Amino acid sequence: MTFVDTSAIYAILDRNDANHDVAKTCWFALLDSNDLLFTTNYIVVESCALAQSRLGLDAVRAIQEDLLPVMEMVWVDEATHSLAMTALLAAQRRKLSLVDCVSFAVMRARGSQVAFAFDEHFGEERFGFPTG
């Protein structure tokens, strides 16, 4: 079970991203592995906003039509949001985001140890990265 982060989604979409080639290779390896891929609605909002701002609506369309159909969407509830907000404030780290804290909470709740991400915060939280 692999969590898919905004950093991976964006790297897949942007040919100029430093992680683009690795992201595409990893993405196709994950698809071939039949591993369960999942993300949250918070990641989708963040990814669409970033992609629209930097790459345009075609990138948002690619998220909607190409990437999301092969992932399970986890809808963040009030309890998870609250837990993540508490974690964010307790961490007292300016560069750690609420979306990251929500992702960590969802991954822990689902027992996932692997994140397809290029965000160092996942490693700091002791999540592994795909080896594909």
Residue 94, classed as helix, strand or coil, is coil
* CATH classification at residue 47: 3.40.50.1010
pLDDT tens-digit readout, 49-77: 999 999 999 999 999 999 999 999 999 99
Helix (H) or strand (E) holding 2: strand 2-4
> What are phi and psi for residue 128, nearest 5 degrees?
-90, 175
Q: Note whether residue 33 is domain-resident.
A: yes
Nearest to 37 by CA among 69, 62, 61, 6: 69
Q: Note whether residue 130 is domain-resident.
A: no
Q: Note whether residue 32 is domain-resident.
A: yes
pTM score of the predicted model: 0.95
Residue 124, classed as helix, strand or coil, is helix
Is residue 4's pLDDT more than 80?
Answer: yes
Is residue 8's pLDDT more than 70?
Answer: yes
Which residue range is the domain that position 57 belongs to? 2-120
The CA-CA-CA angle for residues 23, 28, 34, to 5°, reads 125
Q: Note whether residue 58 is domain-resident.
A: yes
Per the CB < 8 A criterion, the answer to whether 11 and 125 are in contact is no
Q: Note whether residue 131 is domain-resident.
A: no
